[in-house]
Amino acid sequence: MINKSRKVKNTVMMSLFVISTILALVPLFGVLGYVVLNGIGALDFDFFTNLPKPLGVVGGGMANAIVGTLIIITIASIIGIPVGILAAIYLTEYDRTSWLSTAVRFTTDVLTGIPSIIIGIVVYTTIILRTKQFSAISGGIALAIIMVPLVIRSTEEMLKLVPHTIREAAYALGIPKWRAIINVVLPTAAKGILTGAMLGVARVSGETAPLLFTAFGNNYWAKSLNEPIAALPLQIYQYAISPYEDWHRQAWAGSLVLILLVMVLTISARLIFRTRKG
Amino acid sequence: MGQRITVKNLEAWYGPGAERTLKSINIEIPANQVTAIIGPSGCGKSTFVRCLNRMHDTLPGARVSGEILLEGQNIYDQDPVQLRKTVGMVFQKPNPFPSMSIYENVVAGLRLTGVRNKEKLMSTAEKSLKMAALWDEVSGRLNYSGMSLSGGQQQRLCIARALAVEPSVLLMDEPASALDPIATLRIEELIMELKKEYTIVIVTHNMQQAARIADTTAFFLNGELIEYGPTSEIFTNPMDKRTEDYITGRFG
């Protein structure tokens, strides 16, 4: 009898877990499947090599938006990753407890939760209104601002995982602190730090709102980093809200490419930095 | 060659307002001998050896007073980073650098302080690994990760790493407490060898170990040095009642 009620309870709980898991996964796979289904049809060679065609002309592609997204992400990474990692080194290695590091840590947490459109507005009012020019640079800066707290937090966690005994071992050999950090602590945490940074990159590559008033979008190739530049999320947004069937198809294809891009980034981050564990 | 250490009125604190961890320690540690520090947990023995290479007073908030003379030179007048090249240390748990190979681990103390000469590094690595009795086991796989070794091998790797910077004093904070009996035995044999070249100060929880390897033994209790003398004296004919109680297992 006890056995039976136990079995019943076990089955009930088990089904709860299974149902919840399925509930969580259905929308995920739904979105993915829907994008693939709708996007795959419009995805052809032209999509990767051609510029958008003028209104009313069927065909064309998003080559400029794909390249634009890669450029903006590169700018964001060049700024955001070093700043984030160096700040995290300061917070963990030099100053864990002072008011400054507490303030930075708190701000970082707040910044992680701020809606990204606000970052866009801030960059718009501080940079664009002054330079009077939408640009790839300002788009990159906006994304970097979103990235920095993510990188700080993930790097900090990774550095904290490096046992204190490793640092002591370095000091006990007469190795100066900065050398110990660069040659002992950082390499020990390298995989985790880089994985965190890559995930930060993946996270910002789909951002649309902050690019609306910074990179702005462009139907042609941008000739320099100081002019408006196309980006996949922007192009998707612009095409999706249009009334044209062909643009809708292209928006789906763009979404698919964006998802693939993020997926490649995430998976390669996991693969590259998981090769040699422990 | 080893160097002699003279400790005068050493006191240590872990933070402002914290209780004294070491109370007026006076001790003369002879060169080229093994000196064992014994005592129950929390008696200050680890703190004591960490004062000898200034790992203690460089902790945030920690403080010392008194003098520690290394061949007559006060170590508190020296740069702690430089001092640690003369006073090496081996820790309780083997702690090879995880990102480095066996070879890189051994020469880390040289490479990361500016030694670039490849031949010098290689010859030092070989010499240190031989002294640490690890050469025969690893000579064919110096490029393997230091973490691929067994616990006992890792600890000998750490000893080799400490020897590579050519210190004259070697501090060992319970170097065998995380190892099995056979690995422990190898470390002890190694210590007996090393004392020809180095002054060795070893913290140990294991009184048999102190009796086996130490020339002199110091007994610490509650931050005080209770008794200090030739190991045979301490273990067979202790002067202080508390020493006798501890070594006969009445407490601790």
Site from B75, B97, B172 to mutate, A interface, most A CB atoms within 10 angstroms = B97
* Chain A: closest CA distance from residue B25 (Å): 23
Give A184's contacts in chain B (Cβ within 8 Å): 97, 99-100, 108, 112
Asked if residue B211 belongs to a domain, the reply is yes
| Mean pLDDT across A154-163 | 95
Residues 6 or more apart whose Cβ sits within 8 Å of residue B155 = B90, B94, B175, B176, B178, B179, B183, B187
At A120, list the tokens.
Answer: 């866009």
| Three-state secondary structure call for residue B53 | coil
C-alpha B133/C-alpha B57 separation (Å) is 33
Inter-residue contact B142 to B101 (CB < 8 Å): yes
Considering only CA atoms, which of B55, B62, B53 is closest in space to residue B20?
A: B62
At B230, list the tokens.
Answer: 């030739």
DSSP A229: B
| Mean pLDDT across A133-150 | 95
Q: What is the pLDDT of residues A224-259, one digit of tens each?
A: 899 999 999 999 999 999 998 889 999 999 999 999
Whether residue A94 lies within 8 A of chain B, CB to CB, comes out as no
C-alpha B122/C-alpha A121 separation (Å) is 58
- What Rg do the C-alpha atoms of chain A give, in angstroms? 23
Read out DSSP for chain A? -HHHHHHHHHHHHHHHHHHHHHHHHHHHHHHHHHHHHHHHHH--HHHHHPPBPPTT---B--HHHHHHHHHHHHHHHHHHHHHHHHHHHIIIII-SSSHHHHHHHHHHHHHHHS-HHHHHHHHIIIIIHHHT---HHHHHHHHHHHHHHHHHHHHHHHHHHS-HHHHHHHHHTT--HHHIIIIIIHHHHHHHHHHHHHHHHHHHHT--HHHHTTTB--SS--SSTTS-B--HHHHHHHHHTSS-HHHHHHHHHHHHHHHHHHHHHHHHHHHHTTSS--
Place of tokens 């080559």: A63
Predicted local distance difference test score (pLDDT) of residue A19: 97
Q: Phi/psi zone of residue B42: left (φ > 0), alpha (ψ -120 to 50 degrees), beta?
A: left
Angle at A252 between CA A250 and CA A253, to 5 degrees: 65
B67 sits in which H/E element: strand B63-70
Chain-wide mean pLDDT for chain B?
92
Give B109's contacts in chain A (Cβ within 8 Å): 173-175
- Comparing alpha-carbon positions, the chain A residue that sits nearest to B165 is A173
DSSP B26: E
Residue B252: band (very low, low, confident or very high) from pLDDT cuts 50, 70, 90: low
DSSP A92: I
Minimal Cβ distance to A175: which of B100, B113, B158: B113
C-alpha A160/C-alpha A141 separation (Å) is 28
Inter-residue contact A178 to A231 (CB < 8 Å): no
User: How many structural domains is chain B composed of?
Assistant: 1
- Which residues constitute the domain of residue B205? 5-97+168-247
Residues 6 or more apart whose Cβ sits within 8 Å of residue B28 = B4, B5, B6, B7
Angle at B164 between CA B158 and CA B170, to 5 degrees: 65
Q: What is the pLDDT of residues A172-200, one digit of tens each?
A: 999 999 999 999 999 999 989 998 999 89
Place of tokens 């928006």: A251
B120, pLDDT greater than 80: yes
* CATH entry 1.10.3720.10 includes domain A68-155+187-272: yes
Residues 6 or more apart whose Cβ sits within 8 Å of residue A132 = none
CB contact under 8 A, B113 and A278: no
| Mean pLDDT across A103-109 | 92
Specify the CATH number for the domain of residue B233. 3.40.50.300
At A255, list the tokens.
Answer: 């979404």
Inter-residue contact B170 to B200 (CB < 8 Å): yes
Chain-wide mean pLDDT for chain A?
91
Predicted local distance difference test score (pLDDT) of residue A278: 39
| Mean pLDDT across B221-250 | 92
At A267, list the tokens.
Answer: 């998976």
Q: How far is CA A255 from CA A195, A213, B20, in A?
A: 24, 20, 66
Sign, Cα dihedral of A115, A116, A117, A121: positive
The residues spanned by each domain of chain A are 68-155+187-272
| Mean pLDDT across A155-173 | 94
Q: What is the pLDDT of residues B73-115, one digit of tens each?
A: 999 999 999 999 999 999 999 999 999 999 999 999 999 998 9
Predicted local distance difference test score (pLDDT) of residue A42: 84
A199 sits in which H/E element: helix A186-205
- Comparing alpha-carbon positions, the chain B residue that sits nearest to A183 is B112
C-alpha B246/C-alpha A72 separation (Å) is 69
Q: What percentage of residues in chain B have a pLDDT greater than 70?
A: 100
Give A180's contacts in chain B (Cβ within 8 Å): 112
Q: Letter for the amino acid at B232?
A: S
